[in-house]
Chains A and B, each alone.
Chain A
């Protein structure tokens, strides 16, 4: 059953409601956890590595488990399934915002803290007048990033959920997409894409960019960037009128709250203590191995091991092959687009909009174009992996180039560098640190994408007149559209759909282990080496 304009509006509305629910939950979580991590040394030691590890684990892979558990506990009802989706979105957004709050509060200039101590700020005032305002610019910045990631998670989890009658959400942009893969229709697909792009643009215009402009005022550097936003002005005017109205109706002046001072003077002996010498990355690896081995031994699942290993190996190969392809394309492209300030602004804005269209949205096109080709299933998987990685690398390279102080370009001009020398001696080395950061995120994104890239099934109604929402249960059938021969995504989907939770669990542990090992033994080292030599100090 094809979507109509009416259902499309409902789809977008449902998806966006889930996104905002996840976002609000993330921001509240981030403020409290971020501030606690930044102000309490003991909490910092536990929270920081935990957040760091959570950030790198492909949590989307856990969606099958989350949804299966929720359905097991709550039954397959709207609340339970929506809770799972929102929880997923929360896990995709919360960590980087928390990190941002932590760093912002950590870098509050000492004298502001002294001011708070002298004035005996209560905890409430500390949050209201110091921590939250100080963290606002970072929160706004991180929300911009989280938004795109959240949209990706949202669509992916919605599409995944339609694979089983038990889990399917009724409305959502992912539902529309899944239906369109099953019943290709160019007009409705164009309509769906159009609605999505409009929603993305409106979100940017009405929410994300006014938020950034607003938050810039709270920068300690003062003054912000001088950017302006008409939308923000409008909001402020409307808010001012609302407050006037509210004030005229109730004229209560509350007495000033006298709280206990919430900020104790800093104890230098506490600060001087060295952090414990436990490597959290290594601890996580050992823990994962222990749990994995225990699970295999206790449940006697040795026979599953060959399947598991071949799936892990195939997915690993797919992710890394596409990573190399992405790097070879994105690095030169990013440099070319970003090296001139004139080309940077418009291309960045356009790419941001394109990039905020999550890769799984393109599944109908990808399936229609590639599935019939030789190795079609493989090509579909590789394309989705490519699209979920390429932006991270491209953007990190572009931003990396723009953060090179302009004197470095001047130096090249003054010394009359030839083109190739610019590339070899300035562009390529200077983007290395941000390229590495982008690579880590990109590969994380690729592992996340596997649950829709490698295996893709939808519910269809045998009665084509009916929509999924109105289709009686006995007429629903699951249709597998694309499936690679072996891979983590295939196993996760199949085991969840068949209810083999133990196997789902083993696959997840295997995937998490790979990601943790690669982060610990490859990325951590590369990152250290690269930032030691290739980072340009801002104050320079």
Chain B
């Protein structure tokens, strides 16, 4: 079955930081796998190293131990086929929406016109047609995060990492954007074949994920892995949803002590 094709494997990942010569362990031997077409979320208290973990996986930061395998290859540096959406969008204010998306494709040997048409399509895929020449300052928070999303998917990545992508947005905008992310992942003709998201919001994680990994406080380890087998669209008031929420909250509390 296609679901069992492995995309990402994180083996014994450890993180620590150094202050005044002594080492502080943040994350201790965390291992998990993400399969094709899966939406996996990592949830945990602040300071548990979940955001840093994403950066180790995509190779912009080094961990203190462990390995990352992506599509069967041990990674070193930023692997092709992996992309990331930032919590704070990180759009260059001096470039238009379209130019910000095009950043992902420049220097890859693709022709200028091809870059432009792909970037335009990516913006359309996140419902931003007509805003190509708008600067980030003139866009709303939700629109900016859509540009960030378009920039991440325009290079046709297999895997999308998301670092608290909805936390800087108001609830209504976040809700719409969650719908978009779900649609992009489940639509097999669109790029992105797996998502790994970091969040501290239990509801948002339950609404989107196939699997939720719960981390304890630092030095963090995996407390529990919860499979969410609910049909879409998920209703937050439904009995099953509430039950899973209670379970996740219980795990989070357990990890705090």
Bound CA span A426–B100, Å: 12
Bound CA span A411–B196, Å: 17
**Sample of 8 further A-B pairs with CB below 8 A, known A413-B60, A416-B107, A534-B93:** A407-B88, A407-B90, A410-B60, A414-B78, A414-B83, A417-B107, A533-B93, A533-B137
CB distance A421 to B107 under 8 Å? yes
A418-B107, A533-B135 known; A411+B86 contact, CB < 8 A: yes
Interface size on A, residues (CB 8 A): 22
CB distance B106 to A421 under 8 Å? yes
Interface residues of B (CB under 8 A from A): 55, 58-60, 78, 83-84, 86, 88-90, 92-95, 103-104, 106-107, 135, 137, 151
Q: Which of B58, B95, B106 lies in contact with A414, CB distance below 8 A?
A: B58
CB distance A411 to B95 under 8 Å? no
CB distance B103 to A415 under 8 Å? yes
- Residues 382-426 of chain A: 1 if any B CB is under 8 Å from the residue's CB, otherwise 0? 000000000000000000000001011011011111100100011
Bound CA span A320–B106, Å: 37
Bound CA span A537–B141, Å: 13
Chain A residue with Cβ nearest B104: A415
- Residues 499-540 of chain A: 1 if any B CB is under 8 Å from the residue's CB, otherwise 0? 000000000000000000000000000000000111111001
Bound CA span A112–B151, Å: 42
Q: Which residues of A contact B106 (CB under 8 A)?
A: 421
Q: Name 16 interchain pairs, CB-CB below 8 A, sorted by A.
A: A405-B88, A407-B88, A408-B92, A410-B60, A413-B59, A413-B60, A415-B103, A416-B78, A417-B103, A417-B107, A429-B92, A533-B135, A534-B93, A535-B93, A536-B93, A540-B90
Bound CA span A429–B103, Å: 15
Chain A residue with Cβ nearest B92: A425
Minimum Cβ distance to chain B for residue A400 (Å): 14
Q: Which of B55, B94, B135, B137 lies in contact with A410, CB distance below 8 A?
A: B55
Q: Which residues of B contact A425 (CB under 8 A)?
A: 92, 95, 103
Q: Could you tell me the dominant secondary structure of chain B's interface residues? A: loop
Bound CA span A406–B94, Å: 17
Q: Which residues of B contact A416 (CB under 8 A)?
A: 78, 107
The 9 A-B residue pairs whose C-beta atoms are closest, nearest first, are: A413-B60, A407-B90, A429-B94, A411-B90, A414-B84, A533-B94, A540-B88, A410-B60, A534-B94
Bound CA span A534–B91, Å: 11
Q: Which residues of A contact B58 (CB under 8 A)?
A: 414
Q: Which of B90, B135, B137 lies in contact with A405, CB distance below 8 A?
A: B90
Minimum Cβ distance to chain B for residue A416 (Å): 5
- Residues 124-159 of chain A: 1 if any B CB is under 8 Å from the residue's CB, otherwise 0? 000000000000000000000000000000000000
Minimum Cβ distance to chain B for residue A526 (Å): 15
CB distance A410 to B86 under 8 Å? yes
Minimum Cβ distance to chain A for residue B155 (Å): 8
Chain A residue with Cβ nearest B108: A416
Bound CA span A415–B92, Å: 13
Bound CA span A429–B135, Å: 15
Bound CA span A417–B106, Å: 9
Minimum Cβ distance to chain B for residue A137 (Å): 24
A415-B103, A418-B107, A421-B106 known; A410+B92 contact, CB < 8 A: no
Bound CA span A533–B138, Å: 11
Q: Which residues of A contact B84 (CB under 8 A)?
A: 414
